[in-house]
Amino acid sequence: MMDLCISPILPREKYADKKRSGREDRRILNKYLVPQLRHVRAKDVMRAQIRVILDEIAKDAPNMANRVLASVRKMYNWAIGQDLVEHNPCFKVPAPSKERRRDRVLSNEELKKVWDALDNDKSSVIAHSKCACSSPSGAAKYCRCGGPTST
């Protein structure tokens, strides 16, 4: 076994390069784990230390605390497979908070940006949605914008 601190394990995470979530996992670990445990050897990290970090994150960002736990757990599972550490301090650590689904609503400013972008878009789908042919007219099968009429 090697005596590695947390920081040197992160760049060696080859598992992360093969996963879509790899970049996000690395960002989470660098933001939340490394500042707290930078000088602690990876093999010496205790479950209590992980819990303290997670509890602190959960105060303001409960869902992020769950993401941090998942990322740390994945990192340690990978390190065990590479014989870098012998145990995972996240073993049997429960999720710090219940997942809460959030509904996202655009602000007035964001809606204005969407409408401005649509106004600048020259695609036929957008042009057709703004065209009067979207109302039933029965006059023609296709309108001047090139889209089918509602009839």
> What is the arithmetic mean of pLDDT over 130-136?
54
**Which residues 6+ apart lie within 8 Å of 104 measured at CB?**
none
Helix (H, G, I), strand (E, B) or coil at 101: coil
Same domain, 11 and 77: yes
Same domain, 71 and 13: yes
Decide which of 81, 113, 133 is a domain's last residue. 81
Instruction: Outline where the chain has alpha helix (H).
Output: 6-9, 14-17, 22-28, 34-37, 47-60, 62-81, 108-120, 124-130
Lowest mean pLDDT among 7-21, 36-50, 63-77, 110-124: 7-21
User: Rounded to whole angstroms, how far apart are CA atoms 97 and 15?
Assistant: 26
| Bridge partners, 29 (sequence order) | none
HSE-CB at 150 with a 13 A cutoff on CA atoms is: 9
Q: What is the pTM of this model?
A: 0.60
Q: 54 lies in a domain?
A: yes
Which CATH number fits the domain that encloses residue 53? 1.10.150
Which of these, 39, 33, 40, lies nearest to 10 by C-alpha position? 33
User: Rounded to whole angstroms, how far apart are CA atoms 64 and 31?
Assistant: 11
**Total tally of structural domains belonging to the chain:** 2
Q: 98 lies in a domain?
A: no
Same domain, 36 and 72: yes
Same domain, 24 and 73: yes
Give the model confidence (pLDDT) of 35-52 as tens digits: 999 889 888 999 999 999
Domain assignment of residue 141, given as a range:
104-151
For residues 75 and 13, is the Cβ–Cβ distance under 8 A?
yes
| Per-residue pLDDT at 1 | 42
Same domain, 11 and 74: yes
Q: 99 lies in a domain?
A: no
Same domain, 77 and 15: yes
Q: 92 lies in a domain?
A: no
